[in-house]
Structure 1
């Protein structure tokens, strides 16, 4: 829920996820998996900023749940492109 975002980093990450979800879906529809991965790579900086400045496990339950939902969107997007659990290492 965007109304629950308190920090700029949350808002920036949500915006980036919105853009990447669309770009990755369009690339996958064309079977352009390299473009899908390139789109997902754009999440690197906003994800880093998010974890540097946001406490995911906030004491306020609604805020914590909202932050976890945001992170789950990233997971869901990556799973549309590849099953990273198959990569060893």
Structure 2
């Protein structure tokens, strides 16, 4: 695969495979990978994504996710599942 340096760096952060050099990020096993996957599958909101990434010292832009223009409202299915609890 041929990826530019910035794209490769973003994927390393997403998968928690950054180099062993000392950085100001915290690695919490596969938290970043699972968080990004959950957001892409519309299981968590952008706000939750930001919070979970902040635990590892990252921001959404650093893992290749841009802020949505409008706030995301829960779908009818999500609201129904919450009402069942």
> What is the TM-score with the length of structure 1 in the denominator?
0.37
- The structure with the greater share of residues assigned to helix is 1
The structure with the larger Rg is: 2
